[in-house]
Amino acid sequence: MASSTKSLPDSADRNEAVFSNNSVRVAYGITWLGGNVHESITRQAAQQAGIPYTDKLELGIRWNDAPSDNPEKLDYVELNPFNGDINKPGTITYEHHNGSLQHVHSMTPTDRVYTNGELREKIIEQSIEWFEQARNSNNEIYLGKLLHTLQDAYVLSHVQRDKNGNVTGFQDYNEQDHSAHSSDEIRQIKTVTEISGIQRQVLQDWQELPGALKAVQASTHILELYKDLSRTSKYLADYFSYPF
């Protein structure tokens, strides 16, 4: 099955949603598969923003991929494709990855057809909720969840962008070729040739993944906003407006 995205041609109204077939390219991947790209992006962003990379921040970064009914606990067991909840509609694991909660990965939910503008507002609403939870409880788990959503917006199998980087459409996982979506989710093994002519295999640098460095830049901005207590969630909403 070809991938499908709700996309906007340049001449379309910003609140119009249309379907378009486009090949998927890369994703950052579920962290337990060995990708660790979300963690790497966040670690570098935290360093650039001048804040600690904490265990809670890392837990939050991972939660969107391994959600549970406990908003502060991971559940990798239910990701099992054979006997886990990942294939059971109505469960939190299924809804996050395949159903009505795909917006936490910057993808379009399946509960109804959303325009791009409506989905952007849904992502903003969820991000503000997590931003305020993090601030009010001083719990960076919620900040990590927000950053995961933001970082996924720079993955072409989640969000499509034009040549200028503007958002043109949000992908729906169920309308994609799933193997194409996941084939580049983790860092790949590549062959390099040394000056001596000897070839060896190395793990791809996460920074080479398309969109990864832009995700670092965006995450740094959010972390700087978070640590500046004079900045309210209004600034977050402004940042998530087109393009984000």
Would 244 be classed as within a structural domain?
A: no
Residue 136: half-sphere exposure toward Cβ, Cα within 13 Å: 7
Distances, alpha carbon 35 to alpha carbons 154, 161, 195, 199, in Å: 16, 23, 29, 24
Residue 191 within any structural domain of the chain: yes
pLDDT in tens, 101-152: 999 999 999 998 898 889 999 999 999 999 999 999 999 999 999 999 999 9
Separation CA 143–CA 140 (nearest Å): 5
Does residue 57 or residue 168 have the better pLDDT? Answer: 57
Could you give the CA distance from residue 128 to residue 113 in angstroms, rounded to a whole number? 23
**Domain membership flag for residue 15:** yes
- The residue written with tokens 């207590």 in the block is 229
Residue 69 lies in a domain: yes
Least confident of 13-17, 156-160, 193-197, 230-234: 13-17
- Going by C-alpha positions, the residue among 108, 107, 115 that lies closest to residue 151 is 107
Range of the domain at 117: 4-239
> Which residue has better confidence, 161 or 225?
225
Dihedral, CA of residue 195, residue 200, residue 202 and residue 205, to nearest 10:
20
Question: How many domains are there within the chain?
Answer: 1
